[in-house]
Amino acid sequence: MTDKVIETAPKILELVKKSKKILLHCHPYPDADSIGSVLAMTLALKKMGLEVIPILGDSEYPDDLIVLPHHDLLVKKNYSEIDTGEFDLFIILDSSTLGQVSRLAEVKIPKNMRTVVIDHHVTNLKYGDINLVDETYTATSQIIYDLFIRWGVEVDKDMAVCLFLGLYTDSGGFKYPSTTANTLAVGAELAKINSDFPRVIFEMENAKDPQEIAYEGLALSSIEKYFSGKLVMAAVPYEKLKEKGIQKGFTQGGVGNTLISVVGWEIGINFVEADPGVVLVSFRTRNSDKHDVSLIASMIGKGGGHKAAAGTTIYEPFEVAKKQLLETIAKTFPDLGKI
Listed by start position, the domains of the chain span 3-205, 210-336
What stretches of the chain show up as alpha helix (H) in DSSP?
A: 3-18, 32-47, 140-151, 157-170, 181-193, 197-205, 210-220, 238-244, 255-259, 293-299, 318-332
Confidence of residue 305 (pLDDT cuts 50, 70, 90): confident
Confidence of residue 307 (pLDDT cuts 50, 70, 90): confident
Confidence of residue 275 (pLDDT cuts 50, 70, 90): very high
pLDDT at 117 over 80: yes
Task: Show Cβ contacts of residue 94 under 8 Å, excluding neighbours closer than 6 positions.
Answer: 27, 33, 34, 37, 100, 118, 119, 120, 121, 140
pLDDT at 216: 94
pLDDT at 253 over 90: no
CB count in 10 Å sphere of residue 335: 9
pLDDT at 302 over 80: no
- In terms of CATH architecture, what is 3-205? Alpha-Beta Complex (3.90)
Exposed / middle / buried, residue 83 (Cβ in 10 Å: 0-12, 13-18, 19+): exposed
Integer CA distances (angstroms), 324 to 84, 221, 281, 290, in order: 36, 23, 12, 21
Chain centroid offset of residue 5 CA: 20
Q: Are strands 231-236 and 223-226 parallel, antiparallel or unpaired?
A: antiparallel
Per-residue pLDDT, averaged over 136-155, amounts to 97
Domain topology for 210-336: Diaminopimelate Epimerase; Chain A, domain 1 (3.10.310)
pLDDT at 248: 87
Please state, in angstroms and rounded to a whole number, the distance separating the CA atoms of residues 274 and 276: 7
Q: Which tens digit of pLDDT belongs to each residue from 34-79? A: 999 999 999 999 999 999 999 999 999 998 999 999 999 999 999 9
% of the chain beyond a pLDDT of 70: 100
Q: Give one DSSP letter per residue of 237-258, joined into a string.
A: -HHHHHHHT--GGGS-SSHHHH
CA diameter of the chain: 59
pLDDT at 244 over 80: yes
pLDDT at 122 over 90: no
